[in-house]
């Protein structure tokens, strides 16, 4: 079982609203995985996840905004959010499953960051 991020629809300038949903990979769920550069820890951006503020790296929040559907929810797996980063046992187990997660995903989205001028 893993968590995926259900991203609520929104325009580019809307704040990110999402929830975590538990899914079983054995049931062939439809979700997309996002591969991105973690980048430096700062700057960060707040998002709302399950009605609570969660602070994530700006690079990931920019990727979510770009990939967010303006009209429908979108189910994404992003390691920084979908893996409990303060639980070392969970983190270890989930990291070992990353190959399975990416191969089970309907699509893998790659985010390299915003275009530099």
Cα angle 17, 1, 72; round to 5: 30
Q: What is the pLDDT of residues 20-50, one digit of tens each?
A: 999 999 888 899 999 988 766 778 899 999 9
**Local structure of 10: helix, strand or coil:** coil
Q: What is the pLDDT of residue 68?
A: 95
Each residue of 52-104: pLDDT tens digit?
999 999 999 999 999 999 999 999 999 999 999 899 999 999 989 999 999 99
Share of the chain above pLDDT 70, in %: 96
In percent, the amount of the chain with pLDDT more than 90 equals: 77
Q: In what order do the strands lie in the sheet with 2-7?
A: 52-57, 44-49, 17-23, 2-7, 74-77, 32-36, 107-111
Query: What are the boundaries of each domain within the chain?
Result: 2-111
């Amino acid at each position: 079982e893993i968590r995926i991020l259900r991203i609520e629809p929104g325009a580019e300038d809307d704040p990110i609203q999402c929830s975590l949903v538990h899914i079983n990979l054995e049931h062939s769920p439809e979700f997309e995985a996002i591969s991105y550069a973690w980048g430096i820890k700062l700057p960060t951006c707040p998002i709302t996840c399950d009605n609570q503020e969660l602070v994530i790296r700006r690079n990931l929040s920019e990727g979510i905004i770009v990939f967010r559907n303006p009209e429908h929810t979108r189910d994404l797996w992003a390691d920084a959010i979908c893996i409990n980063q303060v639980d070392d046992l969970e983190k270890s187990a989930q990291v070992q499953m990353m190959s399975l997660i990416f191969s089970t995903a309907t699509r893998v989205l790659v985010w390299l960051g915003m275009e530099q001028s």
